[in-house]
Amino acid sequence: MNISINAIHFRASSSLIFFVENRINALKKFNSRIESASIHLRLENDCEKNNKVSEICVHLPGRDLVVKKRAKTFEKSLSSAQLTIGRLLSRSNRKAKTLKKH
């Protein structure tokens, strides 16, 4: 699986990149047909404390799933987005299995 990480308005540390790669590689257990994933980490320029945005785009054959989450830290926003995309992947996996049965 190809993983591309884009940090917008800041420079990502190596520990953050390592955290992102581990979280995204964990998505393989939900669906093994993931072709690639692109992650956009964005630092919003506003006065709110919840200004770290993580966007995960997972590319499946014939379909793309996109989730965007916002939190106080990149780790929290990425974890939340990873949980959501994991649920979407498992749901799409179940739908595909039920379609094959009929």
Q: What is the pLDDT of residues 43-90, one digit of tens each?
A: 988 777 888 999 999 998 888 999 999 999 999 999 999 999 999 998
Answer yes or no: are the C-beta atoms of 38 and 4 closer than 8 Å: yes
Tally Cβ neighbours within 10 Å of residue 24.
22
User: Structural domains in the chain?
Assistant: 2-101 (3.30.160.100)
More confidently predicted of 45 and 2:
2
Which of 24, 29, 27 has its CA nearest to residue 41? 24
What pLDDT is stored for residue 33 in this prediction? 86
What pLDDT is stored for residue 96 in this prediction? 73
